[in-house]
Amino acid sequence: MISAERIDQVVQVVTRAGLNDQTLSALREAFRPIHFTYCMDDDIGTGIGAPVPVRTTDTFNLYLIDGQAHCMRFTADQDAATGLVLAQLDVAS
């Protein structure tokens, strides 16, 4: 389970520090045992059955993942979530 408060804390950290390898490493250390993954948002896919972000910002979306069955899969259930995907948006300069 990942609480809404924990998700909000992660969003605050990433919003302040930026989405990069150093931030991801710090999140992994600070919020054990949550699994963190980083990718580009357009790598996730769209359309029917596509995951819906649990949080959105101007620079990234945050998705829940469930790894309880030994395979990672997107979920909308915070009680089943074991990790977070931080998906960077392609923001035009």
Cβ–Cβ < 8 Å for 57, 15:
yes
pTM of the model: 0.91
Q: How far apart are the first and last CA of the chain?
A: 36
For the stretch 12-31, pLDDT in tens is 999 999 999 999 999 999 99
Angle 55-60-66 from CA coordinates, rounded to 5° = 55
For the stretch 39-86, pLDDT in tens is 999 999 877 678 999 999 999 999 999 988 878 899 999 999 999 999
Q: Is the pLDDT of residue 92 over 70?
A: no
Mode of pairing for the β-strands spanning 83-88 and 73-75: unpaired
